[in-house]
Amino acid sequence: MTSTQPLTVVEPVSKSRLRLWLRLLKASRHIEAKLRERLRLEFATTLPRFDVMSALYRVGPGLKMSELSGVLKVSNGNVTGIVDRLVEDGYALREQVPGDKRAFRAILTSRGRAEFERQAAAHERWVDELLGDVEPERAVRLSDLLAEVVKHVEDSEEKDN
Amino acid sequence: MTSTQPLTVVEPVSKSRLRLWLRLLKASRHIEAKLRERLRLEFATTLPRFDVMSALYRVGPGLKMSELSGVLKVSNGNVTGIVDRLVEDGYALREQVPGDKRAFRAILTSRGRAEFERQAAAHERWVDELLGDVEPERAVRLSDLLAEVVKHVEDSEEKDN
DNA sequence: GCTTAAAAGTTTATGCTTGAAATATCTGCC
DNA sequence: GGCAGATATTTCAAGCATAAACTTTTAAGC
C-alpha cells in the first residue's frame, strides 16, 4: 500500500506545466526589467525603440511600416508612434515607396546606425553578464528546449484559428 | 583565475547566451500574448488585473497597496489604477487600516473571489493546453533550469546595487 | 469607366507601466 | 510640544500596447 503505481495523482501534470509557465515568466520579466533599466539609464532609450532599430539595422533598405509591425509582432498603430519618436531624434526617417503613395519605408539614418551599434554591443554585454553563471552547455540545452516549446505553442495556435 | 583555453573563438559563449535570452523572450511573449487574448475575450479582463486578483485571493485579509506592489514587483503608482478599476467593477474594495490613516488594504469582495476562481481555473486549463505537447518530465527539467537562471540573475543583481 | 474590396498607414480610446513629484500621516528625537 | 525624516499612497507626464474606426490609395471585376 505504500507504493502505488500512478505517480501524478497528488500533483497533476497540469500543475507542473503551470509551474513551468510561471518560472518562464519570472525569468523573462526579471531579465527584461534589467535590460530596460540599463537602456534607460545609459542610452536614454527603451526596449521597443531598441527592437525597432534592431529590425531596421538588419535589413539594408529599411522596412515598410506594416513589415515592421509584422516582424516585431506588434500592432500597426504602435509602430507609428515609435518611429515618430525615432524620426524626431534623428535616428530614422520615412521614405516614400515609389509607385505606391500609401506606403513608407522606415530607414535608419547613419547617426541611427552608429547609435544602434553602440547599444547593441552593450546589450550583448549585459545579457552575457546577467546569464554569466549559466554554463555554456546548459545554455545550449535550455535554448533547445525553449525552441521546442515555442514550436509547440505555435502549433497549438493554428488549431484554434 | 585565467581562462585556460581559447575554446570558442568562432562562436563566442556570449552568442549562445544571447540566443538563450532571445528564445526565452520569444517563448514567454508568445504564451503571454495568448493568455492576454483569452482573458480579454472570455472574461473582459487583463493579465495585470488577473495578477492583482491572484495576489489578493491568496491572502485572507487583503494586502496594503505597497505590499501589493512589492509582491507583484510593479511600481506603486501602477497598482493604484488597477485597484481603482477593480473597485469600480465591484471585485475589490479598499479598507482603512485601523491606526494608520495613510494605509489602505485592498480586499476582494465575495463577487471578486468567485470571479477569480472561474478565471484561475480557465487560466490553468489554457496553460496546460498551450504547453500540452511538452512532456511532463521535460517540463520539470526545464522548470529546474529556469529556476537556476532566475537565481543567477538575482545574484548578479545584488552585486551592482 | 465605375464600383467594390483590399491594403497601408494614422488616429482614437483605453489601459498598463514607469519614475518623479506631491500630499498626508506617522515616528522618533530633542 | 515641535520638528525632521520616514512611510503610504496618489497624481502626473511620457511612452508602450492593443483593438477598432477611419482616410487614402491601389487593385480587381465587370
Mind listing the pLDDT tens digit for each residue in A81-98? 999 999 999 999 999 999
- More confident of the two residues A2 and B57: B57
Closest-CA distance, B57 to chain A, in angstroms, reads: 17
- How does residue A158 score in pLDDT terms, banded at 50, 70 and 90? low
Residue type, B121: A
CB nearest B153 (choices: A73, A130, A155): A130
Average pLDDT, chain A: 87
Nearest to A105 by CA among A156, A66, A57: A66
* CA-based radius of gyration for chain B: 21
Q: Is the CB of residue B121 less than 8 Å away from at least one CB of chain A?
A: no
Q: Would the pLDDT of A122 be above 90?
A: yes
Pairing between strand A104-108 and B92-97? unpaired
- Write down the pLDDT at residue B6: 57
Q: Is the CB of residue B127 less than 8 Å away from at least one CB of chain A?
A: yes
- How does residue A11 score in pLDDT terms, banded at 50, 70 and 90? low
Residues in reach of strand D, judged by a CB distance below 7 angstroms, are: A 46-49, 73-78, 81-82, 85, 99-102; B 33, 37, 40, 64-67, 76-77, 79-81, 83, 94, 97, 100, 102-105
Q: Would the pLDDT of A160 be above 60?
A: no
Four-CA torsion B15, B21, B26, B28, nearest 10 degrees: 170
Q: Do A152 and B133 touch (CB under 8 A)?
A: yes
Return the number of other C-beta atoms located less than 10 Å from residue B56's C-beta.
25
- More confident of the two residues B117 and A9: B117
- The number of angstroms, rounded, from the C-alpha of B7 to the middle of its chain's C-alpha atoms is 38
Separation CA A153–CA A149 (nearest Å)? 6
Cβ under 8 Å to A: B residues 2-21: 8, 13-14, 16-21
Which residues from chain B sit within 8 angstroms of residue A142, using beta carbons? 20, 24, 142, 145-146, 149
Residue B64's H or E segment, with its range, is strand B63-64
Q: What are the residues facing A106 on neighbouring strands?
A: A63, A94
- How does residue A133 score in pLDDT terms, banded at 50, 70 and 90? confident
Count of pairs with CB atoms under 8 A, one residue in A, one in B: 169
Q: Is the CB of residue A37 less than 8 Å away from at least one CB of chain B?
A: no
- Write down the pLDDT at residue A2: 57
- Write down the pLDDT at residue A161: 45
Q: Would the pLDDT of A105 be above 60?
A: yes
Averaged in consecutive runs of 10 residues, what is the pLDDT profile of chain B (161 residues)?
55 78 90 92 95 94 94 94 96 94 95 96 91 80 83 67 44
Read off the pLDDT of each residue in A4-32 and give the average, rounded to a whole number: 78
Q: Do A20 and B136 touch (CB under 8 A)?
A: no
User: For a pLDDT cut of 90, what percent of chain A falls above it?
Assistant: 60
- Find and list the nucleotides of strand D having atoms within 7 Å of a protein beta carbon: 7-13, 15-21, 24-27
Q: Which residue is nearest to nucleotide D27 (CA to C1')?
A: A100
Which residues from chain B sit within 8 angstroms of residue A149, using beta carbons? 27, 131, 134, 142
- More confident of the two residues B133 and A100: A100
